Amino acid sequence: MDGCLHCVFTWQKACSIFHTQGWKHLRRSFSTEKVIHKDHSLPNPSWSKDLRLLFDQFMKKCEDGSWKHLPSSECKVPQRIHSFKTYFLDSKPVKEDQLSQARPFTRSYEVGQGFEYAMFYNEDEKRTVCLFQGGPYLEGPPGFLHGGALATMIDTTLGVCTISCMGLFMTANLNINFKSPIPLCSVVVISSQLDKVEGRKVFVSCNVRSVDEKTLHSDATGLFIKLDPEKSLT
């Protein structure tokens, strides 16, 4: 397969599969024996009042089963999970000592410094919402969030939306409009939805708004390509 894929499949997303599609699917892919599972998407002392209030509101929505909270974990499965890389392509191998230090990008900072977020999924509406607070280590322009940090969370949210609805996918295209800068350490709501499916292609979109919904910070579209466990991607 030519010209296809990138990085939706993070640990964070893998973990969402644990909870939306069960362990069986991931066990099959990873041949894992033991998983250390800690949920990083629960409130911690770095969360602002805005983030806590929004989290509580969405947890309330989960009570009738219409929304589900998607846990976010590092899922530290040593060594063998990395056999996943053979899934991808005949790329230059990564040294084991480097892999042993690997951390999922969106959970690689200490609490409060980087990406603080929680995700919720509505199966009927094929929607995923990410409540995101960008910490002080994600600065772009002085006092504002870096565009790459927002792109990271947009990629992650669209990826989770796709995976939650359709299974394992990788990003093929991201098209992001940056409308208004996001003040550092503030909270935004990334609302994504599945728009269309064409064969192995899934089209998703999202917008990024302030907590009071008055400011549209960004909108974006994503194209994702389904991973086929029986096929190499090259």
Residue in 90, 155, 219, 228 annotated catalytic? 155
Q: How far apart are CA 211 and CA 157, in angstroms?
A: 17
What's the 3-state SS for 156-225?
A: HHHHHHHHHHHCCEEEEEEEEEECCCCECCCEEEEEEEEEEEECCEEEEEEEEEECCCCCEEEEEEEEEE
CB of 72 to its own copies, least distance (A): 14
CB of 200 to its own copies, least distance (A): 15
Residues 163-182 touching its own copies, rule: CB under 8 A, are 170-181
SS3 assignment, position 144: strand
59 binds its own copies (CB under 8 A): no
> If you compute the radius of gyration of the chain from its CA atoms, what whole number of angstroms results?
17
Q: In terms of Cα–Cα distance, which of 6, 26, 20 is closest to 169? A: 6
User: Strand pairing partners for 27?
Assistant: none
Q: Is 228 a catalytic residue?
A: no
Which part of the chain contacts its own copies (CB under 8 A), choosing from 19-27, 37-45, 140-148, 195-203?
A: 140-148
Residues 69-98 touching its own copies, rule: CB under 8 A, are 81-82, 84-85, 88-89, 91-95, 98
Residues 180-219 touching its own copies, rule: CB under 8 A, are 180-181, 183-186, 210, 215-216, 218
- Of positions 55, 114, 127, 165, contacts its own copies by CB under 8 A: 114
CB of 92 to its own copies, least distance (A): 5
Looking at the annotation, which residues are catalytic?
A: 155
